[in-house]
Structure 1
Amino acid sequence: MDMAMSMLPWLDQPVLLHSSRDAGNCTMTAEQCAFKSSYWLFWYQADHRYALPTVAFFLVAIGLFTIGRVVSGISSQRIKQHSLLSRIFAGFRFLSYKGWRIRSWNSQSIGMFLLGTVGLVFFLAMTLGPRPYYWPNTKEISYGNSPPIATRTGFMALACMPFLIILSAKANPITALTGISHEKLNIWHNWVAWAMFVLALIHTFPFIVFHIWKGDLVEQWSSGGVWVTGVVAIIAQAWLTFMSIPWIRNRYYEFFKATHFFMAMVFVIFFFFHCDFRMSSWDYFIATAVLYSLSWLYSQCKTYFEHGLRHKARLVPESEYTLRIMIDTQMEWGPGQHVFLRFITCGMHALTAHPFTVCSVPQRDCQNQLVFYVKARGGLTGRLMALARKNPDVQIPVLIDGPYGGIPAGRVDDFDRNLIIGGGAGAGITLALIEDFIRFEVNQTPREMKVIVATRDPGMRAWYIQALEDIAVRHLQQKPVTGLSIHIHETFSENEVQQVETNIKAASKAESIRSKESSKSTRELFNIQFFTGRPDLAAAIQRMADQETVSVGVVVCGPSSMIHDVREAAAVAQKDILSGKPGYAREVWLHNTEHLASVEERDEA
């Protein structure tokens, strides 16, 4: 072991877990020695002064969200009906929902920005608060070769690493504690990455400035070691950070996915060598490896041991733009959850798993079936659609990882009124919630559910009604569903309408009559109405909340523009609750997600 470690490049010998904290005898004056070893400047305790507080900062944030989850979970409906508490919840929800739309981009909420600002203040205070930034070295007196500002930012960047990598895992302890699904934590993965990168830059440049002053910059670089590992690590880190900018990542997603893990591995390896077991630096790598390995092993065990290798995906093109994927399974999941699918026979795509939102619910007395409605675009979804058109009802082997995310357990059942909104391929999630509503409405307190679906796909009407008909057959539904109404808004052009009509005329007369009769019956069962043009979502939310003491749950799944409109309307509703608007709902809750039919199409699902 020792021989193997001694052969590793760029490491001091002998290789240890921790370097010594012995500063040796100070040969300067007593005043100078006291200055050098002061609390915020002493190099041999820098990891304790800067890395540990950074860890504590992240842990406090996680702890607060965990407490919030626990309090919300144990609060009874009677407590939540209290006027003061309703307003407190409305205040927090306003901060969570209110954001802005800038061109085609949705900003984060006010609450996210506030929490991000707290982090910014923390890192600025820890970086710029202690003085001096550079040692007052002269040609005769040297306090050290590591500028204080470089030392502190280096250890703070190191402390960010475990949280950065854990936030990227699908199954992770932060999600387990806070209940926040991994896809919603992804923004924090991105922000922590930027914080760590900026800290790394502030760590790097003072060394360049110092060695230029000292006149040995070329000599230091030529000696290799810490300079080479540091430069490689920061180049890899820059690649990872800039390639994760949303518009770059979404535009070149396949390339991003293929290179991200490789560059992450390069970064961690060279960062490991760069730290060179200084003080407790390698402890952070050990913590990262343990936590990430457990998270990764958990998801792999679910894939290979719980779900196994037996699953096959059946592909059916529902329309020119929509593909239906069906997988028979014994697994359980909840409404709104998603799984990662790895299609074994799709060439290079077999190397990566893609997220898909489940559009069905588990059945009680028969085999479960995962159903996904996918908007076929480029990349994997385009390849799947081409396979389905070439070989109708084709079945291909698939690996399943999940389920993840979804609507918090029991949340939809908690409300008097529910508004479910789906846009584009996000319409599929409404089917799962409709079936869930029908299944649990028997012998329950009467509730109301309104479903609004908006689509630009001329063929959507046919497959959506057929899916509702299948639900009615499964539940032996023979009379209209009490409390349920479905509004379908078709936003395609007149030319596309004419194309649909031409296709209908081309079908056989008998099939056309059977389809119309079935469609009429299904429309009556589910109280379906059709509209042209985009729905007024803000007005729909206001109408649902326009009754005193009711609680309203809103779920939206669709493109980013739709999510912004619903978030904005939900934020307005919180202000009405805060102001005590007469005759208004006591609670308006929102769950939003962009449709995960495929990561590469999130912005236009």
Structure 2
Amino acid sequence: MDSLLHARMSQDPSAGTYYNGHYVPTSAEKTAYQSTHEPWASSVKYGYYGLYFFAVTIFIAILFNVHFKILQRRSLAVGSTSQSLTLQDKFYALFRLLAYPRIPISVNKFISPWYTAGNQGQTLLLAAGFLFTTLYCFADTYNYRPPFYGSSPLGLRSEWLAMAMLPFLIVFGHKINFIGTLIGSSHEKMQVLHQGVAGLHLYMSLVHTISMTIRSNRERGINYDFHHNYAYWTGFVALAPLIWLCCASLPIFRKAAYECFWILHLVAVGVYFGFLWLHCWKYLDGGYYMYATFAVFGWGVVLRVAYMFYVNLHVHVARVHVTSSGMLHLSIPTKLRWSPGQHVFLRFLSVRPFESHPFSITSIPSGNDQPSDMSFFIVPMKGFTSSLKEYCKRAGGRRDLFVLLDGPFGHTTPELRAFDNALLIAGGSGIAYILPVFQDLVRCNKGEVSAKTRCSKIELIWVVRSRAQYQKMEKHVSETINEINDGGVSVGFFVTGKDAGSEGVESKSSSDDDLVNDMKEKSLSKALPANWHTGRPKLLDIIRERSQTWEGRVAVTTCGSESMISDVSNAVAGVQIDILRQRTTCKEMYLQTDAYDW
């Protein structure tokens, strides 16, 4: 921007004269002044500071992930370990105490329409980013030069910090996410960071815009610069789609019309990139940041398209069936391999072909190289799933449809095999994620596959509104545990709806304590079928009780509503305090969560 001003100095106003009461320096005078007052050319260092922040943070996360993977492998190889609490166990407990807690649902219900809050670890990380950028921008109080002596130092600091975020902002949003792979986080978990960094990018962009506008008004005026300096008008035009992107991405708007948002999101990104390129590519490192951004964006698109092409070399046909309870059951014969807990994006060529949506795979692949049935159980909601249901009902409730698969994606759960105990908690249709995890652990427990496991106790808790609504999936759960002949596997079903008693569900006491005690007595007994209970389970008490009766390493996995994930996360975080105080029989409690959406 300063170079353009240099070119106009001889026109209006003239160098060496006064304009609106302010002296207009010559180029030499301006250079001499800036040499001792944050030179314009040296402002790029703030972008480097931003890059260092990302690099160090990601490197630390990689070290944690590598250490965790090594620990899992060692746990499987060694088998039983000492029950005494080590310094490493205490460190993990302290780390999880900081990372696992979530905002209570009583508070989050007011926040969630406007912001998707992750766990406390993600929130602290984004807060650190906010603090870092704020301090680097505002700790130095030299924010504006005298009129006509150059760009606002505050505007330059915020400019380069914003530019440094841009490549990472794009990478965090990729489905095939190499940073997520390195740090052990799936793409849906990275969405919290993608949205958070987008907010920080907007924050720095607004600081840059406001400070540069103030600088302009102290000289010729924003109207003059808007019409005579293309860096100004391109900057304002670029800011408009950025503001739209961040506002439209708020959950209250995104969830109301996701299909429309997705298309407009891509258009807005294209407009933003185009005008941002015009705005900054000539200035110092601006072009390099744009090249890096275009490179990672293009790489992500090419890799995604190539992967999708490879996955669909074999034509896939989905057998879609509308069940008596109104759910959709999909079965897709495929040669693809996937891991428990993963999901795929489905695109039906005959039903809204320009849309693809993620669904959890509720089956596990066969133990050999033969084709497997990739199964899905879907609760129809508004939008795509409703259209798919109506399309099938017009053909009598069953259809064979061509489908394009994109995936599988998501966090895999084989590492749960390295734990001594596993507590799996599903809420409603969250069983679609939990069921294959449960099946995999049971299959390993029974020795049906060659995979190693040390998980000797497996407990499944499934909370539903209506027993009839999920009878189809209840059958799959029952089949999984039907041949278990020891007390290592137990299942408890909880029906919370008003119709629970009318469906032949065993009547229980309305007391929560009686409910929990009844579950402990029945679900842990040997060779019992799955037990049904009425009312809501006290998850906090159940999780704490398991920490005081189970030994070794415990894994807790949950998928359900925001309130369930919040309750389970906070309960597991509370156990970390008990571990540090040595009030538990378990030496470690690990948590893995999966939400309905993101």
- The answer, yes or no, to whether TM exceeds 0.5 is yes
Shift of 1:467: 2.1
Aligned counterparts of 1:394 and 1:478: Cα–Cα separation in 2: 33
Go from structure 1 to structure 2 and tell me whether the alpha carbon gap of 1:251 and 1:242 turns closer, same or farther (over 3 Å shift): same
Shift of 1:33: 4.9
Contact 1:134 1:149 survives alignment (8 Å): yes
Contact 1:170 1:299 survives alignment (8 Å): yes
Shift of 1:330: 0.7
Alignment of 1:323-338 (within 5 A): 323-338=328-343
- In the other structure, the counterpart of 1:222 is 227
1:37 aligns with 2:35: yes
Go from structure 1 to structure 2 and tell me whether the alpha carbon gap of 1:233 and 1:424 turns closer, same or farther (over 3 Å shift): same
Q: Percent identity?
A: 26
- In the other structure, the counterpart of 2:595 is 594
Aligned counterparts of 2:485 and 2:383: Cα–Cα separation in 1: 41
Go from structure 1 to structure 2 and tell me whether the alpha carbon gap of 1:112 and 1:425 turns closer, same or farther (over 3 Å shift): same
Shift of 1:131: 4.0
3-state SS in 1 of match to 2:157? helix
Alignment of 1:288-437 (within 5 A): 288-308=293-313, 310-347=315-352, 350-365=353-368, 366-391=370-395, 392-408=397-413, 410-437=414-441
1:46 aligns with 2:56: no
Describe the superposition over 1:348-398 as per-residue Cα deviations: whole angstroms up to 9, x where unpaired.
xx2232111111111124421111111111011111121232222212111
Alignment of 1:198-209 (within 5 A): 198-209=203-214
The 10-residue stretch of structure 1 (481-490 or 184-193) with the greater mean CA deviation from structure 2: 481-490
Contact 2:259 2:355 survives alignment (8 Å): no
Shift of 1:479: 5.4
Pick aligned residue for 2:566 from 543, 550, 564: 564
Alignment of 1:46-445 (within 5 A): 46-47=43-44, 49-75=45-71, 76-77=74-75, 78=81, 82-101=85-104, 102-104=107-109, 105=112, 107-137=117-147, 142-144=148-150, 146-223=151-228, 225-308=230-313, 310-347=315-352, 350-365=353-368, 366-391=370-395, 392-408=397-413, 410-443=414-447
3-state SS in 2 of match to 1:384? helix
Contact 2:421 2:455 survives alignment (8 Å): no
Pick aligned residue for 1:468 from 477, 481, 492: 477
AA partner of residue 307 (structure 1): N
The 10-residue stretch of structure 1 (104-113 or 358-367) with the greater mean CA deviation from structure 2: 104-113
Contact 2:43 2:160 survives alignment (8 Å): yes
Aligned counterparts of 1:228 and 1:157: Cα–Cα separation in 2: 18
Contact 2:419 2:455 survives alignment (8 Å): no
3-state SS in 2 of match to 1:166? helix
AA partner of residue 456 (structure 1): R
AA partner of residue 568 (structure 1): N
Go from structure 1 to structure 2 and tell me whether the alpha carbon gap of 1:164 and 1:489 turns closer, same or farther (over 3 Å shift): same
Shift of 1:251: 2.4
Describe the superposition over 1:83-119 as per-residue Cα deviations: whole angstroms up to 9, x where unpaired.
2211110111111111222152474333233222321
AA partner of residue 136 (structure 2): M
3-state SS in 1 of match to 2:549? coil
Contact 2:83 2:552 survives alignment (8 Å): no
Aligned counterparts of 1:460 and 1:416: Cα–Cα separation in 2: 33
Contact 1:424 1:558 survives alignment (8 Å): yes
- In the other structure, the counterpart of 2:508 is none
1:487 aligns with 2:495: no
Aligned counterparts of 1:429 and 1:379: Cα–Cα separation in 2: 21
Aligned counterparts of 2:230 and 2:355: Cα–Cα separation in 1: 35
Go from structure 1 to structure 2 and tell me whether the alpha carbon gap of 1:320 and 1:346 turns closer, same or farther (over 3 Å shift): same
AA partner of residue 411 (structure 2): G
Shift of 1:241: 0.6
Count residues with an aligned counterpart: 536
- In the other structure, the counterpart of 2:461 is 452
3-state SS in 2 of match to 1:450? strand
Shift of 1:122: 1.3
AA partner of residue 564 (structure 1): S
Aligned counterparts of 1:84 and 1:183: Cα–Cα separation in 2: 32
Shift of 1:337: 0.9
Contact 1:333 1:361 survives alignment (8 Å): yes
Go from structure 1 to structure 2 and tell me whether the alpha carbon gap of 1:114 and 1:216 turns closer, same or farther (over 3 Å shift): closer
Contact 1:452 1:487 survives alignment (8 Å): yes
Aligned counterparts of 1:382 and 1:119: Cα–Cα separation in 2: 40
1:575 aligns with 2:580: no
3-state SS in 2 of match to 1:546? helix
3-state SS in 1 of match to 2:374? strand
Describe the superposition over 1:312-354 as per-residue Cα deviations: whole angstroms up to 9, x where unpaired.
222122344422221111111111111111122113xx22321
Contact 2:422 2:556 survives alignment (8 Å): yes
3-state SS in 2 of match to 1:407? coil
Contact 2:426 2:463 survives alignment (8 Å): yes
Shift of 1:199: 0.9
Structure 1: stretches of 5+ with no match in the other structure: 1-9, 14-23, 502-522
AA partner of residue 167 (structure 1): F
AA partner of residue 143 (structure 1): Y
Aligned counterparts of 2:570 and 2:549: Cα–Cα separation in 1: 20
Aligned counterparts of 1:528 and 1:573: Cα–Cα separation in 2: 27
Structure 2: stretches of 5+ with no match in the other structure: 8-24, 76-80, 448-452, 505-524
AA partner of residue 461 (structure 2): I
Contact 1:300 1:401 survives alignment (8 Å): no
The 10-residue stretch of structure 1 (234-243 or 444-453) with the greater mean CA deviation from structure 2: 444-453
What TM-score, normalized to structure 2?
Answer: 0.84
Aligned counterparts of 1:525 and 1:302: Cα–Cα separation in 2: 44
Contact 1:79 1:85 survives alignment (8 Å): no
AA partner of residue 300 (structure 1): V
Shift of 1:35: 4.4
Shift of 1:524: 9.9
Contact 2:459 2:489 survives alignment (8 Å): yes
